[in-house]
Structure formats: structure tokens, C-alpha cells
């Protein structure tokens, strides 16, 4: 008799019993460690994802913090520039005022010098006119004057004519 692929015999029963024993032995030896390994791996992946999510949140928080600091620094920079501009304008204003004061002083000194030079020229002109008048008078009367008489005549001429007339 020809045997089929699956026959119900003691061999078949032993094969089933052996398969069940092998399954239980493998389950005890392999399935449990593999399941634990898979669970540990799954827990590790979950922990890594949670850690990555926390790090992303921390990075976003720091990015916001740095952006806030950057905005503050930009605002502070604008304030510093604004203040420096104000100080520069004030300094320029002070320099202009000082220059105007110095120019006014120079003008006053120049006017005083011009007035002094004018008075000096007028006095020289008075002396020369007086000398010419005396020389002309001396020639007219053909009289020779010594220096003392000369000065006396000049003084007398100036007193008669008056200083006010020469100042105009």
C-alpha cells in the first residue's frame, strides 16, 4: 500500500507532539527574548522620539529667545545711533556757537584796531596839517621858529580849532 503525504499514524502524532514541544521550547527560549528585545527597541525608539521632540521644543524656545535678544539688540543699536546723532548735533551746535563768539570777538578786535589806526592816522594828519600850516605861516612872515615855538604854535592851533572838528 502506498502511503500518502499525510497519514494518521503514530509518527504523525509524534510529529505533532514534537512540534508542540519545539514550539513551547522555542517560545520559552526565543520568543520571550525576541519579544523583550522588540519591546525594548520599541521603547527606545519612543524615548528617542520623545527626546527629539523635547529637543525641538527647546530649540524653538531658544530660537524665540535669541530672536527676542536680537530684536532688543537692534532696538538698542537704533537708540545708540539716535543718541550719538543727538550728541553730534549738540556738539556741532556748540562748535558753531563758539565759532560765532570767536568771530564776534575778532570783529570787535578788528573794529578796535581800525578805530585805533584811524585815531593814529587822524593825529598824524593833525600834526602834518599843523606843521604845514606853521611852515606856510613861517614862510609868509619869513620868520624862523625854533622847535619850542613850533610846538607851542601847533598846540595853540589845535586848541583854537578844537578836537571835535578833526574827528568829523
Given a contact cutoff of 8 angstroms between Cβ atoms, the answer to whether 154 and 131 are in contact is: yes
Query: pLDDT tens for residues 63-107?
Result: 999 999 999 999 999 999 999 999 999 999 999 999 999 999 999
What confidence tier does 143 reach under pLDDT thresholds 50, 70, 90?
low
Q: Please give the angle made by the CA atoms of 35, 41 and 45, to the nearest 5 degrees.
A: 145
Predicted pLDDT at 73: 93
Backbone angles phi, psi at 61, to 5 degrees: -65, -45
Predicted pLDDT at 48: 94
| Better-scored residue on pLDDT, 61 or 146 | 61
What nine digits make up the cell of 50?
Answer: 520623545
What confidence tier does 4 reach under pLDDT thresholds 50, 70, 90?
low
**CA–CA dist 85, 83 (Å, integer):** 5
Backbone angles phi, psi at 3, to 5 degrees: -90, 140
Mean pLDDT of 14-32: 87
What nine digits make up the cell of 95?
Answer: 562748535
| Better-scored residue on pLDDT, 128 or 49 | 49
User: What is the pTM for the complete model shown?
Assistant: 0.40
Mean pLDDT of 12-36: 86
**CA–CA dist 125, 123 (Å, integer):** 5
Domain residue ranges of the chain, discontinuous segments joined by +: 11-167
Amino acid at each position: 500500500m502506498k502511503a500518502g503525504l499525510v497519514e494518521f499514524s503514530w509518527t504523525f502524532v509524534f510529529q505533532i507532539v514534537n512540534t508542540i514541544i519545539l514550539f513551547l521550547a522555542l517560545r520559552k527560549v526565543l520568543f520571550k527574548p525576541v519579544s523583550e528585545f522588540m519591546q525594548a527597541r520599541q521603547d527606545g525608539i519612543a524615548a528617542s522620539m520623545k527626546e527629539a521632540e523635547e529637543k525641538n521644543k527647546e530649540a524653538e524656545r531658544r530660537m524665540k529667545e535669541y530672536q527676542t535678544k536680537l530684536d532688543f539688540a537692534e532696538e538698542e543699536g537704533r537708540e545708540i545711533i539716535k543718541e550719538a546723532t543727538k550728541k553730534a548735533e549738540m556738539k556741532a551746535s556748540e562748535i558753531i556757537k563758539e565759532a560765532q563768539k570767536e568771530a564776534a570777538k575778532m570783529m570787535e578786535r578788528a573794529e578796535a584796531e581800525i578805530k585805533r589806526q584811524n585815531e593814529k592816522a587822524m593825529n598824524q594828519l593833525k600834526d602834518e596839517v599843523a606843521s604845514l600850516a606853521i611852515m606856510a605861516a613861517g614862510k609868509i612872515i619869513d620868520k624862523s621858529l625854533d622847535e619850542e615855538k613850533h610846538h607851542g604854535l601847533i598846540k595853540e592851533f589845535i586848541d583854537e580849532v578844537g578836537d571835535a572838528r578833526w574827528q568829523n
